[in-house]
Amino acid sequence: LAKTTQPISMDSYEGQEVNITCSHNNIATNDYITWYQQFPSQGPRFIIQGYKTKVTNEVASLFIPADRKSSTLSLPRVSLSDTAVYYCLVGPANQAGTALIFGKGTTLSVSS
């Protein structure tokens, strides 16, 4: 499984755009990149997933360069409620028995 590295913590202010980058240098051809968000005492929640280029949904964008060795989660105009831990995961498609490994994640703190 590809190992991921992301910053331990980030600070931001309300209304700013936040970009969290995750490195996954040994990503495999059939690996997908997925980001989850977790609030205290709750289970993680899916944010966005991509394979290559750019993916956008109603809450975030995911930028993946051509070599796919990193990815960047972009949160536009964050609010206090975006304060959470963000996890980057890399896992192969259609491969039974392969566990998704959550790293330490990035703790995002948004202030007013």
Partner 1 sequence: KAGVTQTPRYLIKTRGQQVTLSCSPISGHRSVSWYQQTPGQGLQFLFEYFSETQRNKGNFPGRFSGRQFSNSRSEMNVSTLELGDSALYLCASSLGTGGQFEQFFGPGTRLTVL
Give the footprint of partner 1 on this chain (CB under 8 A): 31-32, 34, 36, 41-46, 49, 87, 89-105
In this structure, what are the phi and psi dihedrals at residue 81, rounded to the nearest 5 degrees? -70, -5
- Minimum distance from CB of 62 to partner 1 (Å)? 14
| Cα–Cα nearest to 50, from 75, 33, 28 | 33
- Minimum distance from CB of 55 to partner 1 (Å)? 13
Cβ distance to partner 1 smaller for residue 16 or 98: 98
Cβ distance to partner 1 smaller for residue 90 or 108: 90
| Cα–Cα nearest to 107, from 4, 12, 16, 27 | 12
